Amino acid sequence: MKILGLDPGLRTTGWGVIDMTDNQLHWVADGIVCSDANFSLAERLAQLHRGIISIISKYYPNVVAIEEIFINKNPVSTLKLGQARGAALLAASLSNLLVTEYSPRLIKQSLVGIGSASKIQVGLMIRQLLPNCQTKQTDATDALAVAICHAHHYNTIMKISSALTKE
């Protein structure tokens, strides 16, 4: 199963694709989608949307995992982050992909064991779990963390889903 992890941001959205086969994780690709700060908000959101659609078209993920929004001290920044997430969610949904959302705390907890882990700790764990990974961009590293979090929770999600459909 191929998992596309997304770490949304208006300026830069990180993405990472991993493959999970029999509980083994393999790095496929990662990178960033950028928007041009000189463009209008609508044009920037369109850039992010097109970039994510392009990644989906190239790597054919089975599912998408995305980081939930966190409340910033600056409400304008939080709003822009939410709009970038909307563009990412729309791209995944229009591609008929199942989307699962994870909180930043759960993502860190899933990789490092503590929800307050630093970016350095998360990066080190990613290199342990995905030895061939060569990512150098922090947003892409964060996106790979989201994908790994989903891989770790996938079996539980499927069991819950199966139990709910039996009722």
Q: Quick one: pLDDT at residue 145?
A: 96
Q: Which of 7, 36, 68, 167 is catalytic?
A: 7
Q: Is position 7 annotated as part of the catalytic site?
A: yes
Q: Give the whole-angstrom CA distance, residue 148 versus residue 40.
A: 33
What phi, psi does 35 have (nearest 5°)? -115, 155
Give pLDDT tens digits for 52-99. Answer: 999 999 999 999 999 998 766 788 888 888 999 999 999 999 999 999
Q: 3-state DSSP call for residue 167?
A: coil
**Looking at the predicted structure, is the pLDDT value of residue 42 above 90?**
yes
Higher pLDDT, 160 or 40: 40
> Does residue 1 sit in helix, strand or coil?
coil
Give the separation between CA 29 and CA 42, rounded to whole angstroms.
28
Strands 63-67 and 2-7, sheet pairing = parallel
What does the mean pLDDT of the chain come to? 91
Given 36, 67, 142, 167, which residue is catalytic? 67
Out of 68, 139, 142, 167, the active site residue is 139
pLDDT for 167 beyond 70? no
**H-helix segments, 60-103:** 75-94
Say if residues 151 and 26 touch (Cβ distance below 8 Å): no
Per DSSP, what are the bridge partners of residue 25? Answer: 20
The predicted-structure confidence for 96-152, as pLDDT tens digits, reads as follows 999 999 999 999 999 998 888 988 899 999 999 998 998 889 999 999 999 999 999
Q: What is the pLDDT of residue 116?
A: 86
139 is catalytic: yes
| Helices 41-59 and 75-94, axial angle in degrees (round to 10) | 40
Instruction: With H, G, I as helix, E, B as strand and everything else as coil, classify residue 60.
Output: coil
Domains in the chain (CATH in brackets) are 2-166 (3.30.420.10)
- pLDDT confidence bin for 156, thresholds 50/70/90: confident
Question: Which pLDDT value is given to residue 158?
Answer: 67
- What pLDDT shows up at residue 54? 98
